[in-house]
Structure formats: structure tokens, C-alpha cells
């Protein structure tokens, strides 16, 4: 595995691979790798000649009161995991390498950001889009791999690739979970033992919502109420949002139809957690209106 920390070196290496006709799969991360990241890497390994993993904690996507300084970092551990899963190139730049001067141009995401995490984290997806534009131009991948745990991010990236004509295939990968259902996340290490016991209630609530849909419930407010009540009854977390949206355009729904995302975010004392579940319904199914 090659470890690179300079943009110019990375671009030269990627151009070499492309001249050799090799396909490049890219997994962008902020590090502190877990099984969810490993699933992305493994999928990229199956589908590409070269697998590139980036580890970069991007300051642009953190708000002033968020956890950039204390975001978990352990590069040696990440390097070991990357090697075990067959990463060919590990790109690990410093902040000064990625942002050597104040930006003269920065991306502004205009759609799919006024709901879910975008509502309570203004500017977050602008920072995500800006760093991805840079990373896509540095790595020049054929495919980019993102986890569906952050379904809003996947939707935003899909719009970014489409609008800026990146010749990249977006590959969404299903959420990887602990045995008790909690979605794998780098931030799970922040949870206290009691919070960790309570956290699986998020997925339990989402599964209960999906079961209600299977039984015929189509009223979005009833679904939101079911999820909220389950979380309130089984955790001490503060609910940030419970939303029912169309996917991938993320339009809030009053009645369920088509591809529907049921998503939740909560704040424990130690961490903010997100999760979601997707349900598929006929587009013309309007029961519940």
C-alpha cells in the first residue's frame, strides 16, 4: 500500500494508473475506520483495479460548535485496517495541503439541504461538496463509494456528480450495523455505556415504522409520531429530527408514495447519531391522504 500526503504526488500517480488503463475506485473518509468503511473498501476492491482511500478530517464541514477538534483520529490504526482490506493508495493530506490559502471559490449546495441534517447544520454540505470537488479532481476515480447511513449526503453527492459532469459512477453501499442494530459510526466511541445501551432504539423505531408501512400506514405524520414516541420511550436522547421524505430529492411528504426515506437524528450527551430506513411503494399509492 502506498501512502501519499501531497496533492501533486497523488495526481501524478493517478494519471499513471489511468494511462495504464486501470479503473480506480475511491472511498473518501474522515478516518477512524470501522466496519462500515471496510464494507465500502471491500466493494471498491471487488469492482476496480485500484482502490484509493482518503483520510481527511475536513474542517469546512464542521460548524463553530461542532466536534472538529475532538473528532476521533488514529492514523496508524487506520493504515493497518486499510492494508488488511486491500487498499492500494492511502491519501492522507494535512489541512494546510488541502487548503493552503483561503478559498476564492467555494461550493454552495442549493438543493436537498433544507431538510434532515442540512436544516440544523447550515453550511455543512457546502463544506462536503467543496472537499469532494477537490478530492474528485485529485483522485480522478471511475467510481466513488458512500454509505447509505448518511442518505442525505449520498443524495447531495449524486447532485454534485450530475451538475458538475464528473465522469464518476456513484455507488451507494447499505448501512453496516452492530449486532444490536446500531449503525456503525466513528462517533459511537463518544457514547457513555448507558447511551450505548439506548442507542439501538433508533433502528428499532425505524423498523417499527417500516412495519407500519407494510401494514398499510401511508400517513407521514403518523409515521413520524410512531418513531418519535419509540425513541422518547426508550432513550434519554434529544431528538433533532424525525422526517419522512421522498428520495433522492428529499421533499417532505404528507402521504407515502414511491421511494420513501424515514430518517432520524438524535443528540446524546456524548454524540449526535443519525440513521434511516428506506421503503418502496408504488408511485400512485396515495392511501392516507
The domain that holds 70 is classified in CATH as 3.40.50.620
Same domain, 137 and 18: yes
Q: Is position 68 within any domain?
A: yes
Specify the DSSP class assigned to residue 103. Answer: -
Q: How far is CA 254 from CA 50, 125, 213, 224, 287, in A?
A: 45, 25, 14, 10, 11
Give 279's strand partners. Answer: 260
**Region 268-273 average pLDDT:** 92
Same domain, 154 and 242: no
CA 140 to chain centre: 20
Where in the sequence numbering do the catalytic residues fall?
37
Same domain, 192 and 134: no
With a cut of 60, say whether residue 77 has pLDDT above it: yes
Structural domain that includes position 152:
2-173
Domain count across the chain: 2
Same domain, 244 and 162: no
Instruction: Tell me which residue has cell 504526488.
Output: 9
Same domain, 22 and 150: yes
With a cut of 70, say whether residue 287 has pLDDT above it: no
**pLDDT for 118:** 66
**Region 38-57 average pLDDT:** 98
Binding residues for (R)-pantoate: 61, 153
**Region 168-176 average pLDDT:** 97
Cell digits of residue 199:
442507542
Binding residues for beta-alanine: 61
Binding residues for ATP: 30-37, 147-150, 176, 184-187
Q: Is position 57 within any domain?
A: yes
**pLDDT for 284:** 58
What pLDDT digit, counting tens, does each position of 95-112 carry? 999 999 999 999 998 877
**pLDDT for 141:** 98
Same domain, 149 and 82: yes
With a cut of 80, say whether residue 117 has pLDDT above it: no
**Region 158-179 average pLDDT:** 96
What pLDDT digit, counting tens, does each position of 181-238 carry? 999 998 899 999 999 999 999 999 999 999 999 999 999 999 999 999 999 999 999 9
187 and 36 Cβ atoms separated by less than 8 Å: no
Q: Is position 118 within any domain?
A: yes
**pLDDT for 63:** 81
In 148-230, beta strands by DSSP E: 169-173
User: Could you report how far apart the first and last alpha carbons of the chain are, in Å?
Assistant: 55
**pLDDT for 66:** 74
With a cut of 90, say whether residue 84 has pLDDT above it: yes
287 and 214 Cβ atoms separated by less than 8 Å: no
Q: Is position 180 within any domain?
A: no
Domain boundary among 129, 148, 173: 173
Amino acid at each position: 500500500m502506498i501512502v501519499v500526503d501531497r496533492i501533486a504526488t497523488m495526481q501524478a500517480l493517478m494519471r499513471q494508473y489511468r494511462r495504464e488503463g486501470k479503473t480506480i475506485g475511491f472511498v473518501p473518509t474522515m478516518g477512524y475506520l470501522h466496519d462500515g468503511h471496510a464494507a465500502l473498501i471491500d466493494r471498491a476492491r471487488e469492482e476496480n483495479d485500484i482502490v484509493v482511500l482518503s483520510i481527511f478530517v475536513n474542517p469546512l464541514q464542521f460548524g463553530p460548535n461542532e466536534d472538529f477538534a475532538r473528532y476521533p483520529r488514529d492514523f496508524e490504526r487506520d493504515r493497518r485496517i486499510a492494508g488488511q482490506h486491500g487498499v492500494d493508495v492511502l491519501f492522507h493530506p494535512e489541512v494546510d495541503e488541502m487548503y493552503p490559502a483561503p478559498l476564492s471559490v467555494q461550493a454552495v449546495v442549493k438543493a436537498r439541504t433544507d431538510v434532515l441534517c442540512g436544516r440544523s447544520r447550515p453550511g455543512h454540505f457546502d463544506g462536503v461538496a467543496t472537499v469532494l470537488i477537490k478530492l474528485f479532481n485529485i483522485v480522478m476515480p471511475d467510481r466513488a463509494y458512500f454509505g447509505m447511513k448518511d442518505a442525505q449526503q449520498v443524495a447531495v453527492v449524486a447532485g454534485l456528480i450530475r451538475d458538475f459532469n464528473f465522469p464518476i459512477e456513484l455507488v451507494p453501499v447499505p448501512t453496516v450495523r452492530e449486532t444490536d442494530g446500531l449503525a456503525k459510526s466513528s462517533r459511537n466511541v463518544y457514547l457513555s455505556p448507558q447511551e450505548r445501551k439506548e442507542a439501538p432504539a433508533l433502528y428499532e423505531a425505524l423498523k417499527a415504522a417500516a412495519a407500519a408501512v407494510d401494514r398499510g400506514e401511508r400517513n407521514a405524520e403518523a409515521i413520524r409520531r410512531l418513531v418519535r414516541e419509540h425513541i422518547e420511550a426508550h432513550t434519554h436522547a434529544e431528538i433533532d429530527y424525525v422526517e419522512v421524505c421522498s428520495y433522492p430529492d428529499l421533499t417532505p411528504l404528507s402521504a407515502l408514495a414511491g421511494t420513501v426515506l424515514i430518517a432520524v437524528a438524535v443528540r446524546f450527551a456524548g454524540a449526535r447519531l443519525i440513521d434511516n430506513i428506506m421503503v418502496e411503494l408504488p408511485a400512485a399509492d396515495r392511501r392516507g391522504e
